[in-house]
Copies of this chain bind each other. A is one copy, B any other.
Amino acid sequence: MRLFLSFVLLIPFCSVLAQQATSPAQLNLMPLPSNYQAGNGQLPIDQSFSVSLSGYKEARLDSGVRRFLENISRRTGIALTNRSATGDSGARLTIQTDHGSKPVQEPGEDESYSLEITSSGAKLNAPTPLGTLHGLQTFLQLMESTPTGFAVPVVTIHDTPRFVWRGLMIDVGRHFIPLDVIKRNLDGMEAVKLNVFHWHLSDNQGFRVESKKFPKLQEMGSDGLFYTQAEISDVIAYARDRGIRVIPEFDMPGHSTSWFVGYPDLASAPGPYQIERRWGVFDPAMDPTNDHTYNFLEQFIGEMAKLFPDHYFHIGGDEVNGKQWDANPKIQEFMKSHGLKDNAALQTYFTTRVQKIVSKHDKMMVGWDEILAPGMPKDIVIHSWRGPESLAAAAKQGYRGILSNGYYIDLMWSAARHYAVDPISGDAAKLSVEEKQRILGGEAAMWSEHVGPETIDSRIWPRTAAVAERLWSPESVRDVSSMYRRLNQISWHLDSLGLTHNTDYIPMLQRIANSEDVRPLRALADVVEPVKDYQREEFAKTPPTSFTPLNRLIDAARPESETGRIFSNLVDEFVSGGCKDAAKSSEIRSRLTAWRDVYPSLQRGMASSSLLGENENLARNLSVASGAGLSALDALDRHQAPAENWKTEQTTILQQAAKPDYTQVLLMVVPPIQKLVEYVSPGGGCSASK
């Protein structure tokens, strides 16, 4: 129960080192290594700590060690960056790298490493720099504060990933995400051993890359918010330094309105076009029947293929509604004359031609489920937003695939729900060994309709670390409570890399509250979650656009309410124990009382800040629901018989409180309160079952 109190009542939300001595079951690592054995004792980390590199040498290893020492310095306050990183024979951490990795990183390269820590020193050995970089991250996660100073525990680790493709997709089309935000997220990816940054660079709402051949793409399609080619190259180098591939996506033939602002003749209907400001699936699509389209793409893909060295090139291919095609007589005529019986066939015609262009520029094409059609060459990769079944079907046909269905982190699911999704499950679990190997891994997908630079980190982290563990660690690693314990640790660790998922929370609440003192608002924010899936638009007062401010409670609220989760567990334990545990009852009561009082505490401030004021109904609902919970608790543990109709009335109240309104958030403590109500026996006390 201490845990519950410490998270609900206290002032945390900044980086912190591990709080407990390490036991074998409690290694603070995420993802968990494939093989490890904890020992006794620790290796101190103090001013004399140093690192040596031997074996294969390259600049990436030097900069990796420099960043490693900087992170230790930041977390300990001990300056280490003026220590030489090479050739010190008395180094505490000796690193041996056997040989180089490929000049352009490829899926399937050896990423393994071994790390042996004793009380006198540590050895990190890896076949390639990729393994070395992973091992350094493991070491950083192990560091903790102890009674005698900072240290890492004695442990032996042999580690290698389960999947070769472990990605994070960031959509910068819908909301532009500045370079510094991209970079800090690459730091986060490195920390959890993700190795693919999938950059969704164009969509209806923005074209985000400088093209020198077709400058109107960025000049007219981006509001001035795009990356120069030099910046792109800088990010690619930054990612490579961290063992991360960068895969560009240019979505076509749909999701491409922003291209048409500067180049309307690419579209299937006459222009002019404007940058799209709304969200959804729209009509504009490239004209697949016009040779001009392919000439343009030939040159454009050629330019981008040079800019992005990775061997894979993502062409999107999703969600073409076909309306422009249906309405264009020339296109209809073309379909007839070429025997293309429907729009799917027309898109396959398009994809086939684009694949040839991509291939000509020495890239392997990646695309969403829609690109899979008979006759496609086997070296393409299917990126599944539809699910493991679709992936399994592709694998059976000989295609490689990666999974994003179940990893859409914009949908505000819990970490546990994402964690349960396995690329090799359902139909895929029944595949042959060879077929299974075609399932390369997966990608967390951060679609950006409702995130900006201030909020994107809190949507990506820490939940993406759970996806990273699913993709790296053995399939058998599935303990959800262990995952949450370690997720909490990694979350604070990520703060030290400059990620803002924790540090922006209080400032955002202060902005809403218009006050330094955010205690009552925080009590409210701690128990809400944004609505799930695509409900944010459904409950919006006015349809959101790319100009809608992202400064409201829903934006500050975390995708997953830790307080709600812990309270829900507490109620489960209480009722399953027959409502007899006095300590649990007292804790539930204290929480409910605090929540009941949030609304009166907030009322004064609501009159002075418009951002706070809109949450009045929500705060009142929390108060009313908590009151219902308190009356249930009285009935349960003081055996007070409820009035007739009490349960029906409370249920009505709670159902009302559970419904999201225009604030677009859910009160996560209402379902456990409902459970308390359900467990009340007609004469008072706890019913054995609801």
Query: Contact at A15–B79, with CB atoms within 8 Å?
Result: no
The distance in angstroms between the C-alpha atoms of A16 and B506, with both chains bound, is: 10
Instruction: Please state the number of chain copies in the assembly.
Output: 2
Contact A515 B79 (CB under 8 A): no
The listed residue (B76, B82, B555) touching A549 by CB distance below 8 A is B76
CB-based contact B547/A79 at 8 Å:
yes
The answer to whether residues A608 and B146 also contact, given A75-B511, A514-B19 and a CB cut-off of 8 A, is yes
Q: A648 at the A/B interface (Cβ < 8 Å)? A: no
A51 within 8 A of B: no
User: How many angstroms between the C-alpha atoms of A608 and B146 in the bound complex?
Assistant: 6
A81–B225 touching, CB < 8 Å: yes
Check if A610 sits within 8 Å of B147, measured CB to CB.
Answer: yes
Residues from chain B with a CB closer than 8 A to the CB of A90 are none
Residues of B within 8 A of A434 (CB): none
Q: How far is the CB of A48 from chain B (nearest CB, A)?
A: 9
The answer to whether A11 has its CB under 8 Å from any CB of chain B is yes
* Contact, CB under 8 Å: A610 / B148: yes
A343 within 8 A of B: no
**A12 adjacent to B609 (CB under 8 Å):** no
B607, A19: Cβ atoms under 8 Å?
no
A234 contacts chain B at the CB level, 8 A cutoff: no
Q: Which residues of B contact A77 (CB under 8 A)?
A: 454, 508, 511, 549-552, 555
Confirm or deny: A687 has a beta carbon within 8 angstroms of a beta carbon on chain B.
Answer: no
Chain B residues positioned under 8 Å from A148 (CB to CB): 610
A332 at the interface (CB under 8 A from B): no
Is A611's CB within 8 Å of the partner chain B? yes
Given contacts A77-B454, A79-B549, A549-B77, contact A514 B611 (CB under 8 A): no
Say yes or no: A551-B76 contact (C-beta < 8 A), given A16-B510, A609-B145, A609-B147. Answer: yes
Query: How far does the Cβ of A618 sit from chain B's closest Cβ, in whole Å?
Result: 18
In the bound assembly, the distance between CA atoms of A79 and B47 in angstroms comes to: 44
**Distance between A594 CB and nearest chain B CB, rounded to angstroms:** 15
A513 CB to nearest chain B CB (Å): 8
Chain B residues positioned under 8 Å from A551 (CB to CB): 76-78
Majority SS at the chain A contact face:
loop
Over the window 69-93 of chain A, the binary record of Cβ atoms lying under 8 Å from chain B Cβ atoms (1 yes, 0 no) is 0000011111101100000000000
Give the docked Cα–Cα distance between A679 and B610 (Å).
48
User: Which residues on B sit within 8 Å (CB–CB) of A255?
Assistant: none
A611 contact from B75, B145, B507, Cβ within 8 A: B145
A304 CB-CB contact with B under 8 Å: no
What 1/0 flags go to A116-154 for Cβ under 8 Å of B?
000000000000000000000000000001111100000
- Tell me the bound Cα distance from A298 to B522 in angstroms: 62
A428 to B229, CA, bound (A): 57
> How far is A146 from B78 in the complex, measured between Cα atoms in Å?
44
B515 touches A16 (CB 8 A): yes
- B508–A608 CB distance below 8 A: no
A421 CB-CB contact with B under 8 Å: no
Q: Is A224 at the interface (CB under 8 A from chain B)?
A: yes
Q: For the complex, is A231 an interface residue (Cβ under 8 Å from B)?
A: no
Contact with B along A214-240 (1 / 0, CB 8 A): 000000000111000000000000000
Pairs of residues from A and B, 3 with the lowest C-beta to C-beta distance, nearest first:
A77-B551, A12-B516, A145-B514
Q: Which residues of A are at the interface with B, using a C-beta cutoff of 8 A?
A: 6, 10-17, 19, 47, 74-79, 81-82, 145-149, 176, 223-225, 452, 454, 492, 495, 503, 506-508, 510-511, 514-519, 522, 547, 549-552, 555, 607-611, 613
